[in-house]
Structure 1
Amino acid sequence: MIYIYNCYGGTHTSALAAAYHLNRLPRDRKPLKEEILNSYLFDKLTSNDHGKLIHHGKDDQGNDVFSVGRGSSKAVIPGIYGSFQLMENRGELSETVVISNTSPTVPWLMTVGGFCSRALKLTTLGRMFLVLGAQKTYKNIINLVDASIQSGHTAPAKVLLLNNTEFKP
């Protein structure tokens, strides 16, 4: 199976979702500031990275976990989805692909923090808001990851596009 978590920048909630999926962040408690900031690629990508599939690793079942930032593009996710559907239609897709939107889990603190850190280059201020937001929404992200994994195991389709609107903070 392939899991692709996506959000606007690809460096906050999608990076955290990948970290939770790979058990690199605690699931039984609120993550510490240092744990969040030390997560792979957390608050490190720029707009130049939008649209790039970034491999985070393999989970304990051997499934690949990716993230992608879509930016303001309305084409990135449909393009990824369509590419995998084409592969499925040609009989070239041997595993299920789950494309999961993490944006519904973003609290306003993370929106402000991401803008400050990435757009305004006020990294220290932005990261303060990002950490508070990540701590506020960690359960939502974990629930989204668990639902994405479950969907991958139970859905009849080979390529799934999950909007996840039910996971609002």
Structure 2
Amino acid sequence: MKIFYYCYGSAHSSVVAACIHLGILPTDRLPSAEEFKRLPHYDKTDSYEIGTPFFMGIDEYGAEIFITGMTGERQLVKKAIYSFLKKCGIDVNDLMMVNALNNVNLKTKIGGFISRRLGLVTIGRPLTIKGIQEKYAGFVTLVENTKREERKRLNKT
């Protein structure tokens, strides 16, 4: 099974969701700003990398966890991913696409724009972290629901 957490630019919400899924971030407390800063890919993806799937790790059920950015073209990018994997002989029924962008608030969006688009990381990154911290419980719920669906698909309920 392959699980793709996706968002706009694969720099914030998809990274957080994937890291919760893999146990890199906790589910029982709010991570510190330093914990977010240490995450692989957090607030580091450049515009030219949007659409590139980044492998994040393998979960406890053997699923490969990826992140990807889809800008405003979510349906088009999903269709391209499904089509490519199908042509490579990969069973797309073993694929889960999970939208992590629904848990992003205005602080994270503005911070991401300031950091990634304007290059003002020292201003934008702390704002993204504050926004993610405010919505962190939603990310935990998203991952719990994703894992529940994963177990269901694997008949490990």
TM-score past 0.5 threshold: yes
Per-residue deviation, residues 122-168 of structure 1 (Å, max 9, x unmatched): 11110111110111111111111111122233359xxxxxxxxxxxx
Number of the residue aligned with 1:24: 24
2-side partners of 1:22 and 1:116: how far apart?
28
Deviation at 1:115, TM superposition (A): 0.5
Aligned to 2:118: 120
Q: Residues 26-105 of structure 1 correspond to what in structure 2 (within 5 A)? A: 26-74=26-74, 75-84=76-85, 86=86, 92-93=90-91, 96-105=94-103
Distance change >3 Å, CA 119–CA 154, structure 1 → 2: same
Contact kept in structure 1, 2:82 and 2:92, CA below 8 Å: no
Cα distance change, pair 71–94 in 1 and its aligned pair in 2 (3 A): closer
* Rounded Cα–Cα distance in structure 2 between residues aligned with 1:87 and 1:146: 31
Residue number among 132, 135, 138 corresponding to 1:137 in the alignment: 135
Choose between structure 1 and 2: higher helix proportion: 2
Deviation digits for residues 9-48 of structure 1 (CA, Å, limit 9, x no counterpart):
1010000111000000111111100001111110000111
**Count of aligned residue pairs for this structure pair:** 153
CA distance in 1, matches of 2:38, 2:4: 21
1:55 alignment partner, SS class: strand
> Residues 126 and 72 from structure 1, CA distance in 2 versus in 1: closer, same or farther, beyond 3 angstroms?
same
Report if aligned partners of 1:97, 1:152 keep a CA contact under 8 Å in 2.
no
Q: Distance in 2 between matches of 1:144 and 1:65?
A: 14
CA distance in 2, matches of 1:145, 1:31: 16
Percent identity, please.
Answer: 31
Deviations along 1:104-131, one digit per CA (max 9) or x if unpaired, are 0001110010000001111111011111
Q: Which ranges in structure 2 are unaligned for 5 or more consecutive residues?
A: none
Q: Distance in 2 between matches of 1:104 and 1:78?
A: 20
Change (3 A) 1:119 1:54: same
Q: TM-score, length-normalised on structure 2? A: 0.89
RMSD of aligned alpha carbons: 2.0
